[in-house]
Amino acid sequence: MKSILTRTVVLLGIVSLFTDLASEMLYPILPIYLESIGFGVIGIGVLDGIAEATSGLSKGFFGQWSDRIDRRRPFVVWGYGLSAVAKPLLVLFLSPAWILFTRTLDRFGKGIRTGSRDALLAGEARTETRARVFGFHRSMDTLGAALGPLFALVFLYFYPGQYRWLFFLAVIPGVLAVGAALLLRERETRRTTGSRPGLLEFVGYWRRATPAYRRLVTGLAGFALINSSDMFLLLYLKHTGLTDVAVIGWYVYYNLVYAVAAYPLGGLADRYGPKRMFLFGLVCFAIVYAALPFAAATYALAVIFLVYGLFAAATEGVAKAWISHTCAQRDMATAVGTFSALASLCSLLASTVAGLLWYRFGAHSLLLLTAGSSFILFAYMMTLRPVRPGAGQQ
């Protein structure tokens, strides 16, 4: 255990816990707040779409910049710092331009830090323990995602309607996250200078990446195209007649399952291979979307969101560990950033199409179509050859 959970891995876990606590205490009430100041559904969609696209493109750019100068810590600190500052700024002014700027600033911070943070995590692990390291990080991250909504529920119980104060309170865990990031240490390297890359120069990595990387990321991007925002699942629960508290409660339950399962499933991925674990996650995903339209009883929802938590635990951290086996250590941030940029853009398209399908054909059709599409993706992922740990580390 000590050889796996190094000081850097634990610190990055703490940083992500506090950051997600701050983000997720706002996540359930953000659409309500935006509606209260005049944003319609289309406006909220455009706002989130621009912010996520900014995050996606910046992940690749800053990932390559991090690799080029062989530095990780500055990108991690600045990325978490910008996100911490952006949250309270969101409620200082009510103009649409200001809301767009601050929301985009928050996602821009995520884009700055993602590739460098994941490269730090991969560098701290041996090739045979990377899924466990990423699993531990996802556990800490998701624990924050479970605690955040719980805090919001308690606060709004005592102070109903006081949404603006939640944004200011989110500063506290944000500052704690930045403080923990400042404690990170980085190994001395020879390559400490390098030119800044062009905005989309990271796209060129695709041409020189290993065939295994390209095939894997193609499949993961395909999955991002069918994996629309969790907001649609929460919205579906709301449309079935559940109260706001019940909807948030199921979201907290899902995150708790995810947090508990991520590390042990990462260990199984290290033992049996990330491909097998990811395929298991895909099956869980299909079961959730196929079963949800027919679930009414509480026990059925309990099983469905248990399986959904297992899906997330078996795919998100495992996917990054799998990617790390297909690229050289010196290109780690670029590889992860390129994947994250592509996945973010695919997710934006997925949520847009999901909204249109819901509007045109109804929620049940969207859920069942998603379940069916996942089996097509399962067939593609089955064709990928298992990657030997370290195969891309030349």
CATH number for position 327: 1.20.1250.20
Output the pLDDT for position 392. 47
Task: Report the C-alpha gap between 49 and 347 in whole angstroms.
Answer: 9
Residue 390 maps to a domain:
no
Residue 305 maps to a domain:
yes
**Domain span at residue 292?**
7-184+209-382
Residue 232 maps to a domain:
yes
Residue 339 maps to a domain:
yes
Output the pLDDT for position 18. 93
Residue 356 maps to a domain:
yes
Residue 200 maps to a domain:
no
Task: Report the C-alpha gap between 194 and 314 in whole angstroms.
Answer: 37
Output the pLDDT for position 41. 56
Residue 204 maps to a domain:
no
Residue 53 maps to a domain:
yes
Which of 194, 157, 226 lies closest to 369, judged by CA? 226
Task: Report the C-alpha gap between 146 and 120 in whole angstroms.
Answer: 25
Output the pLDDT for position 189. 54
> Residues 78, 38: contact at Cβ < 8 Å?
no
Report the number of distinct structural domains present in the chain: 1
393's CB contacts (< 8 A; 6+ apart) are 127, 327, 328, 329
> Would you give per-residue pLDDT tens digits along the chain (394 residues)?
446 778 888 999 999 999 989 888 877 667 667 767 776 656 666 676 677 777 777 877 787 788 777 888 889 899 999 888 888 887 777 777 788 888 888 888 888 888 888 888 877 877 677 778 888 888 888 888 888 888 888 887 788 777 778 888 888 998 999 999 999 887 655 444 555 555 556 667 778 888 888 899 999 999 988 887 777 787 788 778 887 778 778 888 998 898 888 888 888 888 888 899 999 999 999 999 999 999 878 889 999 999 999 999 999 888 888 888 887 777 777 787 788 778 877 877 877 788 788 878 888 898 999 999 999 999 999 998 876 554 444 4
Output the pLDDT for position 179. 92
